[in-house]
Amino acid sequence: MSTHDALIDRYIACWNEADPVRRRALIAETFAEGATYLDPLHAAEGQDGIAALIEGAQLQFPGLAFSRRGGADAHHDRLRFAWALGPAGGEALAGGTDIGLLAADGRFASVLGFIDFAPKG
């Protein structure tokens, strides 16, 4: 497994971790101190802001989990990967592509998210 695969797997684990203490530890391993997250619906700054955003997403989508879709592309300090959201073992209800900027220590300095498909309405 490449370093990028491990980082992406931790990123997905952050979004799926139900225990707030464990989720916060995963966020610290995955995101640099002043990291930012931005998608069409949300913005967050810092590890605490990202933790609050993920907690809100879990409350908004109970019973659903994030998973990876395919591999990753990387060059220089950029990383691109796709994700899906749906019931465990079921068809994805939504999915997107995220672009990460890597910090010098290998964690995410920022993540820019795009929604590829989602329910209408």
Tell me the sheet residues that pair with 117. 95
Find how far residue 73's CA is from the centre of its chain. Answer: 16
Q: What is the pLDDT of residue 89?
A: 86
Burial class (CB within 10 angstroms; exposed 0-12, middle 13-18, buried 19+) of 46? middle
pLDDT at 16: 97
Contact 108, 7 (CB under 8 A): yes
pLDDT for the residue numbered 88: 87
13 within 8 A of 26, measured Cβ to Cβ: yes
Domains of the chain, by residue range, sit at 3-117
pLDDT in tens, the chain (121 residues): 567 999 999 999 999 999 999 999 999 999 999 999 999 999 999 999 999 999 999 999 999 999 999 999 999 999 999 999 999 889 999 999 999 999 999 999 999 999 999 988 6
Report the predicted TM-score, pTM, of the whole model to 2 decimal places. Answer: 0.94
User: Phi and psi dihedrals of 88, rounded to 5?
Assistant: -55, 125
Instruction: State the architecture of 3-117 in CATH terms.
Output: Roll (3.10)
Any idea which residue has 């592509």 for tokens? Answer: 97
